[in-house]
Amino acid sequence: MSAVMITRKVRKWEKLPGKNTFCCDGRVMMARQKGVFYLTLFLIVGTCALFFAFECPYLAVHLSPAIPVFAVLLFLFVIAMLLRTSFSDPGVLPRALPEEAMFIEMEIEAANGNVPTGQRAPPRIRNVQINNQIVKLKYCYTCKIFRPPRASHCSICDNCVDRFDHHCPWVGNCVGKRNYRYFYLFTLSLSMLTIYIFTFDIVHMVMREFLLFLIRRDTQAYYACTLELSTLKETPGTVLEVLVCFFTLWSVVGLTGFHTYLISLNQTTNEDIKGSWSGKNRVQNPYSHKNIIKNCCEVLCGPTYPSVLDRRGLMQEDSTVSAASAAPSSSSSISNAVPQTTNVVLRLQKTTAPLIPNEHTPDDAKPSIAASAEKSPSPREEHPPAPKVPPLASPETDVEDKTH
């Protein structure tokens, strides 16, 4: 019986798990809450607009036209860095497909051996030696992978991110391997811009007051040469700019300093907060080259890593009933797009996808999924009888510290 095939062009980003929002047909990737990002944008654009409106005409005439020109270039650089940080993929690690997850589960089972009933299984940790340092790789229950070193799971975006630094609400995205240098350049250039605007605001106010002072002196107006601050009435924007810059200075310049320190040590904010390499028990950072210049070069001038999350790839979606009613688990649809696997694999994965529950599975469905997995009419009949389904991965069945 032939089914009518209506293939709708669906891009992979529409089916990606995690709590990201995508724009421009998958080209732009951000976190869900973008409010603070809009605030950042508003503050920067607004303050610069005031600067160009009030300060620049005066300074261009009285000091030098290079001042507004440089300000424009700096402003454009800041915005470019901000948008690049916010819109790019921070280094998200795609979740394991069902077969990979199953393979890892089998390995864990084999490694753990027989756990007596009633006792909890040991925590899922892999030890790896890097530069004479033992690094523990933790298992991520959401993504069903052992996290690579320096990766961490962001609970806001619900993704594992490689070289996870932190989730920045100001930028509306995680900061990770791929966008850390843009983030750093953003904070650095923003510091420079803030200092620039602040300085020239002061210069502007002082100049106006000094001019007034000279005028008053020349016109023989012998009242006390107190600062009338009439400039404030002429350029009210200046006050606003000074206020914004003053508060921004403390936070942004401090942040830039902090990240400069981190870069020189080749550490991430996440590692710093957790005290991973704080030096007790002779634990040292195995990733550091022990040379400040080398560390800086690696972080800032290193290779530009590509995104491993294929957002704009096309997915084949046919509208046959069986496909539509198959488990909507996104892991099954991601497998469709792999061109090299045959269609047999496609079918296989669609029917086995419900085996491993993900965040979309309601809690009470989990035990029934385990039961139905054994009964499911999968084409794996000729496959040797399915081995005992390993206990479905969940944090409750394993002992672990809850630092996810």
Partner 1 sequence: TSEFHNLQELRHSASLETKVFIQRDYTEGTVCRFQTKFPSELDNRIERTLLEETVKTLNSYYVEAEKIGGQSYLEGCLACATAYIIFLCMETRYEKVLRKISGYIQEQNEKIYAPRGLLLTDPIERGMRVLEISIFEDQGSGTSSPSSSSMSSTGSAR
For the chain, the maximum distance between any two Cα atoms, rounded to a whole number of angstroms, is: 107
Nearer to partner 1, 13 or 182 (CB): 182
Question: Least separation, in Å, of the C-beta of 194 and partner 1?
Answer: 18
Question: Least separation, in Å, of the C-beta of 232 and partner 1?
Answer: 35
Positive or negative: CA dihedral 36, 40, 42, 47: positive
Q: Are 364 and 358 in contact, with CB atoms under 8 Å apart?
A: no
Nearer to partner 1, 33 or 320 (CB): 320
CA angle (78 as vertex; 74, 84 as ends), nearest 5? 145
168 catalytic residue (yes or no): yes
Question: Least separation, in Å, of the C-beta of 318 and partner 1?
Answer: 8
Nearer to partner 1, 300 or 371 (CB): 300
Question: Least separation, in Å, of the C-beta of 10 and partner 1?
Answer: 16
Question: Least separation, in Å, of the C-beta of 346 and partner 1?
Answer: 8
Nearer to partner 1, 249 or 386 (CB): 386
Nearer to partner 1, 286 or 391 (CB): 286
Question: Least separation, in Å, of the C-beta of 231 and partner 1?
Answer: 35
Nearer to partner 1, 329 or 335 (CB): 335
Nearer to partner 1, 134 or 232 (CB): 134
DSSP string of 32-87? Answer: S--HHHHHHHHHHHHHHHHIIIIIHHHHHHHT-THHHHHHHHHHHHHHHHHHHHHH
Q: How far is CA 336 from CA 5, 25, 103, in A?
A: 16, 19, 19
Q: Which amino acid is at 345?
A: V
123 contact partners, CB below 8 Å, separation of at least 6: 139, 398, 399, 400, 401
Q: What are phi and psi of 16, to 5 degrees?
A: -75, 140
Which residues form the interface with partner 1 (CB under 8 A)?
2-3, 76-77, 80-81, 84, 93-94, 96-97, 99-100, 103-104, 128-131, 135, 137, 145, 148-150, 162-163, 182, 185, 286-287, 297-298, 300-306, 308-310, 318, 320, 338, 340-345, 347-348, 379, 381-383
Length of the chain: 404
Q: How far is 65 from 77, CA to CA, in rounded Å?
A: 19
Q: How far is CA 186 from CA 40, 84, 157, in A?
A: 12, 9, 21
Question: Least separation, in Å, of the C-beta of 43 and partner 1?
Answer: 20
Q: How far is CA 260 from CA 181, 296, 321, 362, in A?
A: 11, 9, 56, 44
Query: From the candidates 56, 168, 174, 245, which is the catalytic residue?
Result: 168
Q: Are 157 and 71 in contact, with CB atoms under 8 Å apart?
A: no
169 contact partners, CB below 8 Å, separation of at least 6: 31, 33, 36, 37
Provide the token pair at 115. Answer: 């756990």
| Catalytic residue IDs | 168
